[in-house]
Structure 1
Amino acid sequence: GLSGRALQSYRIDTPGVVGPFENPAQFHAQDFCTVWPDRVEKADEHIRRFIAERPQRHYQVCLTHGDLLLHNIIADEECRPTGLIDWETAGWMPEYWETASSSRSVYSRVYIWKDILREAFPRYDDDIAIE
């Protein structure tokens, strides 16, 4: 991650851990931060520009869960979130990392999942679109 500690993420195909990274630019230079080629080919001009500019964008570094998926969210009887479990992939990452990690999950094939992410993280629509 970006806090001087290594990173473990299901979004990264590399087994084990990677990093740590000294700054966001070094982090964004890694292969796992690139957008899948098929996403670039299908993207409109706005998204292509966003993809090209993403490595230079200023993102705040914040604590992310890293595996924010339905099976890790605890809810009460009325389906209100009350907690999170399974924190082994948590780390200090760029603020969009939570949406990026969740968007590339098995749930990405369930179209409503990206709608849920967009509602929960409206600021990151473009980040979700390229994942």
Structure 2
Amino acid sequence: MDSSDNISQLRVIYNKGDHIVLQDEERKTIHKCGKEGFKIYEALTLIYINDNTNISVPKIRSIQYEDGRELNVRYDEAGKSTNIRYEDDKVYEVKYDEQGKSTYTPCGNDDVVQITMGFVEGDTLEKVWKDFTYDQKEVLAGDLKRYVSELRKLKGEKIAALNDGKVRVLSGSRYAQEGGPFESREEFNQFLELIGEEDAPQGCEEFVFSHGDILPRNILVNDQGKVTALVDWEFAGYFPMYWEYSRASRESKDWKEFLLLWVFPDKREWGYTEMKSLNIRS
């Protein structure tokens, strides 16, 4: 994977700027490559979600750094990682010597050039949504509602990405903006206003883990409507509870109505009356 010859043999499935996503059909792997602005957060998030929830996500195989370091992720028979630890919002690689003594090496957030993950079967919901039947939507909604419920059980003390990283928000300019970590919702609101976002309700509530971009293009499904994987976690982190619906409801009207009726029927219970953004009005 280190040579340009190997890279050229892979199928390009996404290419924008200096970020590219490649598929190795023989090895059944996906490779996300990048330079400027490419960080470890998404890979660590996928490992974290895999280890702490029952949400279907691609399994991270390895993380490669610009200086040549490579973090290979190992899994046990239950499919949980065995050499990654999370402590005090930090992430560590765990290594054991011959005597079984462990050493913890911090995982750096920056200078990542490639993330390799396992390939997951399924069509993007974006591709098949227009033909989805009522029964398929019912299956899909059940999965998404359960996933959101599981994510809400993961609590944070601040608004931040995993590993105490900066949050990434797709602003009205369609470019990702970074900020934080934020100790309070007031600080986060100031950041949102600064980048031209209106999703800044007032009040106090707990911070829960959110995917941050639950749109049809990031959901893989089978022909029954079951979610085979939730992908693209680059905007994930700990946010106020309203955030997941706010971000997900930016899509077409029918997708927004589906979310409101099938996935987030409780949104008025967690601050709907405070919300001002056009994105989150029914």
After TM superposition, the score normalised by the length of structure 1 is 0.68
Matched letter for residue 6 of structure 1: K
Quick one: distance in 2 between partners of 1:17 and 1:72? 21
Quick one: distance in 1 between partners of 2:229 and 2:176? 28
Matched letter for residue 90 of structure 1: A
Alignment match, 1:121: 264
1:39-76 per-residue CA deviation (whole Å, 9 max, x = no partner) reads: xxxxxxxxxxxx8xx312x3221111111100111212
**Is 1:34 the counterpart of 2:206 in the alignment?**
no
Matched letter for residue 168 of structure 2: Q
1:19 to 180, 204, 222: 180
Quick one: distance in 2 between partners of 1:20 and 1:6? 5
Matched letter for residue 190 of structure 2: A
* Residue-pair matches, total: 108
Q: CA deviation at 1:93?
A: 0.7
Alignment match, 1:75: 221
**Is 1:102 the counterpart of 2:242 in the alignment?**
no
Give the alignment's Cα RMSD to 1 decimal.
2.5
Quick one: distance in 2 between partners of 1:78 and 1:11? 34
Percent of residue pairs bearing the same amino acid type = 28
- Distance verdict in 2 for CA 1:85–1:11, change over 3 Å: same
User: Could you say which structure has the greater relative contact order, defined with CA pairs below 8 angstroms and 6 or more residues apart?
Assistant: 1
- Preserved CA contact (<8 Å) 2:220 2:228: yes
- Preserved CA contact (<8 Å) 1:29 1:55: no
Structure 1 stretches of 4+ with a deviation exceeding 6 A read: none
- Distance verdict in 2 for CA 1:15–1:112, change over 3 Å: closer
- Preserved CA contact (<8 Å) 2:169 2:178: yes
Quick one: distance in 2 between partners of 1:72 and 1:59? 27
- Distance verdict in 2 for CA 1:114–1:67, change over 3 Å: same
Question: Where is the strand percentage greater, Structure 1 or Structure 2?
Answer: 2
Q: Which structure has the larger Rg over C-alpha atoms?
A: 2
1:87 to 233, 246, 265: 233
After TM superposition, the score normalised by the length of structure 2 is 0.34
